[in-house]
Amino acid sequence: MRENELLASLPSLFHTDDPTVLVGSGPDDCAHVRTLGGSVLSVSTDAFAEGSHFLSDDRPEDVAWKSLAASVSDLAASGSRPRWAVVSLGMRRGAPDGWAERFARGLAGAARDLDIAIVGGDLVSSHHTTFISVTVVGEPLRNGPVLRSGGKPGDALVVTGSLGGSLRGRHLRPVPRVKEMAALLDFADSQSDRACGPNAAMDISDGLAIDLSRLARESGVGAVILETLLPVSDDARLMAAESGRSAIDHALSDGEDFELLIAMPADAWDAFQDRLAAQPDNGLAPFTRIGSLTGGRELLILDSAGEPRALAPEGYEHSW
């Protein structure tokens, strides 16, 4: 069985009738369970291996930040407040002196900056590959999680921040969009129409093209986005000058943006825009509408002349 087949089989393999499991093993990066006391919890885990997810000469402080930020970002995208983390570190024999200590200090600093309590962990020896696994536990900000599967035709597609070129440095210290999701949910709660929150969301970790294809697939819809609306980062433009690829291409497929991709009712987006415009100094990353979900299954991107082409998502899925 190949890796992608195995991954596809895991949700059914781990399917459970346990009524405490609200959202379990499946397409979402985050599970949601209900405690005996009635609290809902969100849990997300991510693993990182030397040579695959970070390099031997990356600064251990940066590795720590990114490891923690990835799961924090998953929880934020699911509409949860990330609160507590446990961290496993497997240290390769022969790793540079002080690597583990610098990782630990970096992790403590990241936890302070990201407002997470590190409540435990495990430090072990690993023969040849240093590895990290982070599990973050949090609580939904609203009644019920935000999933990938709730998008509806006609929803506005909205992203935070700017996209592409993260390898120029932003990928080392991604800032999970916890405040931004909280602001969106706070806005939704303040409206008399209760249906104006996000219908679906996820974080953009593997690039907008593939991540949008995932959200659309799970929601059973299509999507159309406009090149002219994409918030292309300065880094994407700088990389394009060197790579020979277009800045748009970098914005669509570079990955490691850790921005939010949100599907929400179009009129709610209009109202949310008004709210944001009334608070210009809100300290939030910008929100940008890039297109809409559609009733078909096609994923299209229109260029500045209105010419459509298919978005071609491909990549590797590893969460279950």
Q: Tell me which residues in 87-126 interact with a second copy (CB under 8 A).
A: 87-92, 98, 100-101, 104-105, 107-108, 111, 117-126
Q: Where in 93-173 does DSSP place strands (E)?
A: 117-126, 131-140, 156-160
Q: How far apart are CA 212 and CA 154, in angstroms?
A: 15
Does 1 interact with a second copy (rule: CB under 8 A)?
A: yes
CB of 140 to a second copy, least distance (A): 10
CB of 218 to a second copy, least distance (A): 15
**Positions in 136-155 near a second copy (CB under 8 A):** 137, 139
**Positions in 23-52 near a second copy (CB under 8 A):** 23-25, 29-31, 33, 35-41, 43-52
CB of 187 to a second copy, least distance (A): 20
94 contacts: CB under 8 Å, gap ≥ 6: none
What is the dihedral sign for C-alpha 292, 298, 299, 300?
negative
CB of 118 to a second copy, least distance (A): 4
Shorter beta-carbon distance to a second copy: residue 121 or 154: 121
DSSP bridge pairs for 81: 139
Q: How crowded is residue 26: how many other Cβ atoms within 10 Å of its Cβ?
A: 18
Shorter beta-carbon distance to a second copy: residue 112 or 309: 112
Identify the three-state secondary structure at position 68. Answer: helix
Q: How far apart are CA 85 and CA 133, in angstroms?
A: 10
CB of 5 to a second copy, least distance (A): 9
Q: How far apart are CA 162 and CA 179, in angstroms?
A: 16
Does 195 interact with a second copy (rule: CB under 8 A)?
A: no
Which residue in 8, 10, 266, 312 binds a second copy (CB under 8 A)?
Answer: 10
Take residue 151 and report the two structure tokens written for it.
């998008």
**Positions in 214-273 near a second copy (CB under 8 A):** none
Shorter beta-carbon distance to a second copy: residue 10 or 195: 10
Q: How far apart are CA 125 and CA 115, in angstroms?
A: 29
Which residue in 78, 133, 199, 213 binds a second copy (CB under 8 A)?
Answer: 133
Q: Do 289 and 230 contact (CB within 8 A), yes or no?
A: no
Which residue in 14, 286, 297, 309 binds a second copy (CB under 8 A)?
Answer: 14
